[in-house]
Amino acid sequence: MSSTEIEEGNGPVERAKSDRAAKRNLFSRIALFIQQIIAELKKVVTPTRKELINYTLVVIAFVVIMMALVWALDQVFGFVTLFIFGTPLS
């Protein structure tokens, strides 16, 4: 599919809209679906190494913060439970 097809409105999405009125057979619908998948995959941008490292560090920092939050809440709830019900049995 060329850029002129997209500019003229002959892309897979436009074809899918126009084909709703005229039912196509199973194989042409599958082919249209695959064309739409390929058109969407062409829009995907692979991150650079620097961006990938940055994204990874952000995810790791977020996970560490969430772990600290869950640990702190666990400590608080444990203290409250111990305060309400008394000393542990062990």
Helix 26-41 and helix 12-19, axial crossing angle in degrees, nearest 10: 150
| Count of helices and strands (H, E) across the chain | 4, 0
* pLDDT score of 34 more than 90: yes
* Domain assignments of the chain as residue spans, ordered by start: 3-41, 47-90
pLDDT: is 26 or 68 the higher one?
68
Give residue for tokens 């619908």.
Answer: 29
Give me the mean pLDDT over the 11-21 stretch.
68
Q: What is the pLDDT of residues 43-68, one digit of tens each?
A: 999 999 999 999 999 999 999 999 99
Per-residue pLDDT band for 88 (boundaries 50, 70, 90) equals low
Once rounded to an integer, what is the mean pLDDT over residues 36-42?
A: 94
Poorest-pLDDT segment among 9-13, 36-40, 64-68, 84-88: 9-13
Say if pTM beats, i.e. exceeds, 0.75: no
